[in-house]
Amino acid sequence: KEDDTNYEKVCKVYNFINKEINIIGLGPGELGTYAPLSANITINKKYANHQAVLALMHSMLEKLGIKSYIGFTEGKREKITYKDYYTIDLASTPVLKVIIDNSSYYTDGGSIYTPFSVISTGIQGSNATFLDQDKKEFFDEVLPKQTFNWNTNDQLIHVVIKEDGSMDVTETTTYRGPYEESIRELKSVKEKEKAMYAERRVKSVHPKAVLKSYGFTDMSDLDSPAIYNLTYTIPEAAQKTSDTIMSFTNFWIDYGSGSASLKKRKYPMKYWATERTTKTIIFELPEGFNWVKWDKQYKHLSSDMSFSSNLNQTDRQLVYSDRFDANAEEYLTDEAYQNYRQCILTMSELANQWIILEK
């Protein structure tokens, strides 16, 4: 449409290509060339590798008057980086840089499950080489690690605690970036499989949980938020030791410490990607019951990795919130690993804490 913004035009091109063209996993190494198939062949055959898909996207954007640059990159490396050992042999993953209203966006081709401008975690933060066809020269760039629009997972959970210790739960999760792919796959499965997925989700919270209903946004609309919602009950969730005391663990806080089991580390450690996750849990307390306050709040703050949490009662609501930020994906020294380890252990300690309500 003529009244579409440039960003909308790019998204439509991206969505069209991913819907119409089947991707085959053959790169320069398998094909023996960096040259992509022609756009005409890609359109007529309806299949192509990522090189050809991005070449087609570049060609279509060019006709729309939108500037883009074809390039190659490779995944992040723990011990050998482009900075130290830069050769064309390492750059075998195609990537496209798109200029929209003087801002840069990147895509590695994506899929029918991921929106435009989100690149795979394996190449986030890696070096890329692009071709400027007008100037007939190459230029290098470091791909973005993340923005706060990527690699995020936000949960809002509402829990009504009954007098008998059972819980009525509404759980809403918003996905962005790599997290989207798994949830958007629901658009391709049968209704029975969708129900089974919802059942597994509630059982992962508590083995006695009973699914009441589930729902989600239109997973085919890649340009809108991917949101998944569950409602379920957990009978006998809180243990009643008497008529005046009940206790339970926070079932939705399941942080483990397996990745931080080593006390010291001699070799670099790689985290999967930079990310941000948040959880907000609102407990509606039974009449007359109040939370027995903890003697501390659990947090660890640093530039590489941070976790902060808070639990507070106001009237009949007990509100829990936390935020986890991983700003580095490689921990090259033992000092950096110790910082990572302390953060993970703090989160694990929180997961083991009991919430006690007293009347």
Percent of the chain with pLDDT over 70: 92
Local confidence pLDDT in tens for the 359 residues of the chain: 678 999 999 999 999 999 998 877 777 766 666 777 777 778 888 878 888 899 999 999 999 999 999 998 876 654 344 455 555 556 678 999 999 999 999 999 988 999 998 888 888 888 888 999 899 999 989 888 866 567 889 999 999 999 999 999 999 999 988 788 889 999 999 999 999 999 999 999 999 999 999 999 999 999 899 999 999 999 999 999 899 999 999 999 999 999 999 999 888 888 888 899 999 999 999 999 999 999 888 999 999 999 999 999 999 999 999 999 999 888 889 999 999 999 999 999 999 999 999 99
- Asked if residue 138 lies in contact with residue 73, where contact means CB atoms within 8 angstroms, the answer is no
**pLDDT per residue as tens digits for the range 9-40:** 999 999 999 999 887 777 776 666 677 777 77
Cα separation, 114 vs 354, in Å, equals 38
**pLDDT per residue as tens digits for the range 202-254:** 999 999 999 999 999 999 999 899 999 999 999 999 999 899 999 999 999 99
Q: Can you give the three-state secondary structure of 178-225, one letter per residue?
A: HHHHHHHHHHHCCHHHHHHHHHHHHHHHCCCCEEEEEEECCCCCCCCC
- Asked if residue 309 lies in contact with residue 319, where contact means CB atoms within 8 angstroms, the answer is no
